[in-house]
C-alpha cells in the first residue's frame, strides 16, 4: 500500500517539466489571445451579477403576486388618474427592466463564450444601391410626349 501512495504523490518528471518549446508556445498563445481570458472572467462575473438581479426581479414579482399587490394595482386601474398611472407605469417598468436585464445577460453570455458579434451595415448598402439606380432610372422614367 505504501508503494501505491508513494507513486501517486510524486509526479513523473516527464509530466512535471515543460520543455522550452512548450513554454514558448504557451507564451505566444497568451500573446495572441490578447487578454480574452481576462475578458471572459469579467464577463462571467458580470453575467453572475445580472443573473442575481434577474433572480431578485423574479422573486419580487412572485412575492407581489402572492401578497396580492399585483391584483390591487390591476384592480385600481381606471378608478383614479394616479392609480391608473401607478399600475401602468409599474407594469411597463417591470417589462422594460426584464428586457434590459435579459439583453445584457445574453450579451455577457456571448462575451463569455468568446463569440464576437460583428455589426452589419444595412443602410450603407441600401444607399449605394439607391445611388446607382437613381442615376439610371431618370432615363427609364421618361414618358414620351404626345404629338398632337
Listed residue (45, 49, 54, 51) closest to 98, CA to CA: 54
Mark 66-85 as b/e (b = at least 16 C-beta within 10 Å). eeeebeebeeeeeeeeeeee
Domain assignment present for residue 9? The answer is: no
Place 106 in a pLDDT band, splitting at 50, 70 and 90.
very high
Measured distance CA(35)–CA(58) in Å, rounded = 35
Report residue 37 as a C-alpha cell. 481570458
Q: Is residue 78 part of a domain?
A: yes
pLDDT digits (tens, 9 = 90+) for 25-68: 666 666 665 667 788 888 899 999 999 999 999 999 999 999 99
Contact predicate 64/70, CB 8 Å: yes
What's the whole-number average pLDDT of the chain?
A: 77
The SS3 of residue 66 is helix
Question: Phi-psi region for residue 143, left (φ > 0), alpha (ψ -120 to 50) or beta?
Answer: beta
pLDDT at 85 over 60: yes
State the Cα–Cα distance between residues 71 and 126, nearest whole angstrom.
49
- This prediction's pTM: 0.55
| pLDDT class of 102 with cuts at 50, 70, 90 | very high
The answer to whether residue 131 is domain-embedded is: no
Domain that holds residue 46: 35-113
Give the span between the Cα atoms of 130 and 124, in whole angstroms: 10
In a domain, 80, yes or no: yes
More confident residue, 86 or 16: 86
Asked, for residue 62, whether it belongs to a domain, the answer is yes
> DSSP character for 77?
B
**Is residue 99 a part of any domain in this protein?**
yes
Nine cell digits for residue 147: 404629338
Q: Tell me how crowded residue 31 is: count the other CB atoms within 10 A of its CB.
A: 9
What are the Cα distances from residue 95, in Å, to 58, 89, 98, 99, 102?
11, 10, 5, 6, 11
Q: Does 23 fall in a domain? A: no
Is 57 among the domain residues? yes
Number of separate domains in the chain: 1
Amino acid at each position: 500500500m505504501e508503494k501505491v501512495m508513494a507513486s501517486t504523490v510524486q509526479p513523473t518528471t516527464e509530466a512535471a517539466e515543460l520543455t522550452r518549446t512548450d513554454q514558448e508556445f504557451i507564451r505566444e498563445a497568451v500573446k495572441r489571445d490578447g487578454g480574452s481570458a481576462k475578458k471572459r472572467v469579467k464577463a462571467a462575473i458580470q453575467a453572475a451579477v445580472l443573473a442575481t438581479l434577474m433572480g431578485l426581479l423574479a422573486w419580487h414579482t412572485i412575492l407581489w403576486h402572492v401578497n396580492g399587490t399585483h391584483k390591487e394595482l390591476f384592480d385600481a386601474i381606471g378608478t383614479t388618474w394616479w392609480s391608473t398611472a401607478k399600475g401602468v407605469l409599474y407594469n411597463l417598468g417591470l417589462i422594460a427592466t426584464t428586457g434590459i436585464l435579459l439583453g445584457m445577460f445574453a450579451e455577457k453570455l456571448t462575451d463569455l463564450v468568446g463569440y464576437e458579434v460583428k455589426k452589419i451595415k444595412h443602410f450603407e448598402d441600401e444607399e449605394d444601391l439607391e445611388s446607382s439606380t437613381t442615376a439610371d432610372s431618370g432615363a427609364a422614367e421618361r414618358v414620351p410626349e404626345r404629338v398632337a
